[in-house]
Structure 1
């Protein structure tokens, strides 16, 4: 076996991880690469740097936030040393649209000396409401991801240079102003601390999980993890977004794949 397939994902609610793994295994088998995972979900993972070589494959999966790559991944990506590795990029979005996120990721990774030869945009259940993208990625999504892995392998072996052409515009869409909106906690909380362990920002107090520090990214990992449904958002800006999503974004969108 020559080289490593570095599977890198940020996945607060596990959707990006699930999709990354669905692509990584058949891709590694097709290319004869050893698998190595890099989980960026928690700060200790994001604080590490990654150095690839020209024999490696760099597979990057991330959730789309406001049509862009999550800002908290910027420091990790800034330290990426691509070394001429071939790369595959997967944007995972909540059935609305991925806007400029896939293009931004391709551009960024290409700038760090990876040759991006394949990319995909896949759907997951929206973090804010289970009524949008319900139950996704589902079995068909994972089957599509596996099929894409074989096309990505062919692209990696083809010798064609990247970057792959993907939808999106430059300059990328403006990010909305940062808002200090934190999850609330009802009296149903039993202080099991699951929310503490699942928060990718590690800002929920172990002494009192109703206390949430500044820096929430509204990934809803704590909301989805709570067995008592005690964590929630009911602030007006969040409710407006949920209302828009549930009104306009419930029709099923299908994965989109791109190769050189």
Structure 2
């Protein structure tokens, strides 16, 4: 069978990347296709037009931001087109709720010529807390992801996979207005530039990584990936939300899968 499995993801803290790669590898093996990867995490990787054909398969992985797809992916999604191309969508959320994000992704892909054959809501460690869903996706999550991909592959292999029903509401929930915040830096900073190189919003200065411009996504990539532990946020509302998560959303949730 010709065509590729296009593993496409936006993944500041690497949880969505892990799920997308797991799904793509299993689909490729089952369908006899090669995997090609498109990383939308950094600004240079986003916004390019891409077209997939009927023999290709799209795997799309992204984190849930307040029950929605990340807003900064809109241009990339608009430039992604298919011609009856099967798609498998994975929304990764931090053990609170994924709300309308999975449905929103399906609607956007359907409008652009894809047939969303399967969709899953997976759990990843919350970006605001290392305690909420710590270490996830874990081995159990990845086993479920592989089984999910096997079922999706069997559906795709029929040659005429039907669009999957996915829960969510229309109109989608309003986007959280968010907070105008910036990461701060302690004296432990070694100027290794890991934060600047990995900032999805491109707001951390390469001249001085202790400085950040406007437009922070609060994705926490700089905090979680700093080898010196020098990045932090001290906004009271953000810290209050993290405390809420650690109070009310510690019980383990399992992936919800639609095939």
Instruction: Return the alpha-carbon distance in structure 1 between the equivalents of residues 44 and 189 of structure 2.
Output: 27
Query: C-alpha displacement at 1:159, in angstroms?
Result: 4.6
Instruction: Return the alpha-carbon distance in structure 2 between the equivalents of residues 162 and 132 of structure 1.
Output: 35
The aligned counterpart of 2:222 is 222
- What residue ranges of structure 1 are gaps of 5+ in the alignment? none
Instruction: Return the alpha-carbon distance in structure 1 between the equivalents of residues 81 and 23 of structure 2.
Output: 22
Query: C-alpha displacement at 1:158, in angstroms?
Result: 3.1
The aligned counterpart of 2:141 is 141
Query: C-alpha displacement at 1:45, in angstroms?
Result: 1.0
Query: C-alpha displacement at 1:133, in angstroms?
Result: 0.3
Query: C-alpha displacement at 1:178, in angstroms?
Result: 4.1
SS in 1 for 2:179: coil
The aligned counterpart of 2:9 is 9
SS in 1 for 2:223: helix
Instruction: Return the alpha-carbon distance in structure 1 between the equivalents of residues 227 and 201 of structure 2.
Output: 20
Q: How does 1:176-255 map to 2 (within 5 A)?
A: 176-255=176-255
- Change in Cα spacing, 1:132 to 1:234, as seen in structure 2 (3 Å) is same
SS in 2 for 1:189: coil
TM score, norm. by length of structure 1: 0.97
- What residue ranges of structure 2 are gaps of 5+ in the alignment? none
Residues 226-249 of structure 1 show CA distances to partners (whole Å, capped at 9, x for unaligned) of: 122110111011012101100110
TM score, norm. by length of structure 2: 0.97
The aligned counterpart of 1:171 is 171
RMSD in angstroms over aligned alpha carbons?
Answer: 1.1
The aligned counterpart of 2:126 is 126
- Count of matched residue pairs: 259
Instruction: Return the alpha-carbon distance in structure 2 between the equivalents of residues 63 and 192 of structure 1.
Output: 26
Residues 142-183 of structure 1 show CA distances to partners (whole Å, capped at 9, x for unaligned) of: 111111110010121235554311111111000011432111
The aligned counterpart of 1:112 is 112
Q: Contact conserved, 1:106 with 1:163, CA < 8 A, in 2? A: no
Residues 127-154 of structure 1 show CA distances to partners (whole Å, capped at 9, x for unaligned) of: 1101100110111111111111100101
Instruction: Return the alpha-carbon distance in structure 2 between the equivalents of residues 81 and 229 of structure 1.
Output: 40
